[in-house]
Amino acid sequence: MTDYPPRILKITYRSGVNGRVARVFAKVEYSGALDLNEKLGRMMAKRQIIWFRVDVAKAAEIAIHRSELARWRSALANSSPITRVDWLA
């Protein structure tokens, strides 16, 4: 079985609470991609977010944002003060 390295993804979403757009760069393990997609889908169903987009971060973006990289749960929770979305719920 192949061991896949963590992926660095750019997650962009629009808050359903105050309408602000947030973009976070997050480390997502290969097995965590499904959990991330499920969480984003649930937040849409709860109308906490209006839309989301997940892209693979480019090398230049990773270099710029390397100091703020965190696992996806922490990265999304860190965007809560801006968007007022409760990611821990």
Range(s) of the domain holding residue 72: 7-83
> Looking at the domain assignment, is residue 12 inside a domain?
yes
Whether the CB-CB separation of 72 and 32 falls below 8 Å is answered with: yes
Would you write out the chain's pLDDT as a tens digit for each of its 89 residues?
555 556 899 999 999 999 999 999 999 988 888 999 999 999 999 999 999 999 999 989 999 999 989 999 999 999 999 999 999 87
> Looking at the domain assignment, is residue 51 inside a domain?
yes
pTM of the model as a whole: 0.89
> Looking at the domain assignment, is residue 25 inside a domain?
yes
> Looking at the domain assignment, is residue 1 inside a domain?
no
> Looking at the domain assignment, is residue 89 inside a domain?
no
**What's the full length of the chain, in residues?**
89
> Looking at the domain assignment, is residue 88 inside a domain?
no
So what's the pLDDT on residue 4?
A: 52
Our count of domains for the chain comes to 1
Strand order in the sheet with 7-15: 49-56, 7-15, 21-28, 70-71
> Looking at the domain assignment, is residue 2 inside a domain?
no
So what's the pLDDT on residue 88?
A: 87
So what's the pLDDT on residue 28?
A: 93
